[in-house]
Amino acid sequence: MGRIPKGCFRAIPYCKLGEKTYRARSVVGYYRSSFIKRCPSSKRAEIMMPSTTERCRRLLCTTRFITLATASVQGSPWASTVNYVYRRQTESLLWYSMSDSLHSQNIDHDPNISGSIFRTDLGTSAPPVGLDGIQLSGFARSVPDDEIEVVYEEYYRTNFPDVLTRAQWALPLSDFKKNGKRSFYILTIQRLWLLDLERWSYDKNDQRIEVELPIPDAN
């Protein structure tokens, strides 16, 4: 680990803790665990990590685009990026796509889906490297005709809060009605993982932490 500067904490190396020990304390966080022996100095170094809830909400609410992974009837994988809005009350994502696009066809025959969201522009709000990401899985479905008007309004109102901007981007409602060329889809999140920033800052291992759903409201 190299020499530890005077006034900083002294940590038991990961190799001496072992995988079970690491996982046992990972929810609390390495920098707040009982395995850290802190020096009494007020100058000791600390990494201020945002809470799991804060990170999840920030990524889901602000990223806007998700890369989806689907599979064809033959099992061929396909990745596609869509512009979504986050539905906090139901832990789901809403987007629209062309009805005849490959990922839309894949969802029609197999609703199992996974996705990846990431940002690289977070700077000091996502120590230590300024990036953060989510991986998730769940079930997707096309929105039936009797729900179209409600989700149409929700999607455009959330995606474009400004009325004038919304008017510029909104497509005709008829495009999403029965026999239209576009469809709305809803992905209900079943499982979700966050990049383990604390683990990476300690030993540069690229791993994930599963987050319990539903995500609680931030205090």
Domain count within the chain: 2
Same domain, 184 and 79: yes
Percent of the chain with pLDDT over 90: 63
Cβ(115)–Cβ(65) below 8 Å? no
CA dihedral (80, 184, 111, 211) positive or negative: positive
Same domain, 31 and 133: no
Q: Give the model's pLDDT for residue 145.
A: 95
Give the structural domain span for 130: 52-195
Residue 214 carries which side chain, given as an amino acid letter?
P
Q: Supply the mean pLDDT for the chain.
A: 81
Structural domain contains residue 206: no
Q: Are residues 80 and 159 in the same domain?
A: yes
pLDDT tens sequence across 74-99: 999 999 999 999 999 999 999 999 99
Length of the chain in terms of residues written: 219
Which of the four pLDDT bands, split at 50, 70 and 90, describes residue 172? very high
Tell me whether residue 203 is in a domain: no
Q: Are 151 and 142 in contact (CB under 8 A)?
A: no
Q: Check whether residue 69 and residue 33 sit in a common domain.
A: no
Per-residue pLDDT reduced to its tens digit, 118-166:
999 988 877 777 889 999 999 999 999 999 999 999 999 999 999 999 9
DSSP SS3 for 118: strand
With respect to residue 212, please indicate whether it lies within any of the assigned structural domains.
no
The backbone torsions φ and ψ at residue 76, rounded to the nearest 5 degrees and listed phi first, read: -75, 130
Compute the distance between CA of residue 172 and CA of residue 169 in angstroms, rounded to an integer: 10
- Answer yes or no: are the C-beta atoms of 135 and 114 closer than 8 Å: yes
| Residue 67 falls inside a structural domain | yes
For residues 42 and 135, membership in a common domain is answered with no
202 occurs within a structural domain? no
Mean pLDDT lowest among 22-31, 76-85, 102-111: 22-31
Residue 73 lies in a domain: yes
Q: Are residues 64 and 165 in the same domain?
A: yes
Within a domain: 209: no
Whether 78 and 178 map to the same domain: the answer is yes
18 assigned to some structural domain: yes
For residue 219, the model assigns a pLDDT of 55
Among the residue ranges 139-153, 166-180, 196-210, the one predicted with the least confidence is 196-210
pLDDT of res. 201: 75
Report the CATH number that the domain containing residue 160 is assigned in CATH.
2.30.110.10
167 shares its domain with 88: yes
Q: Are residues 89 and 169 in the same domain?
A: yes
Together in a domain, 84 and 16: no
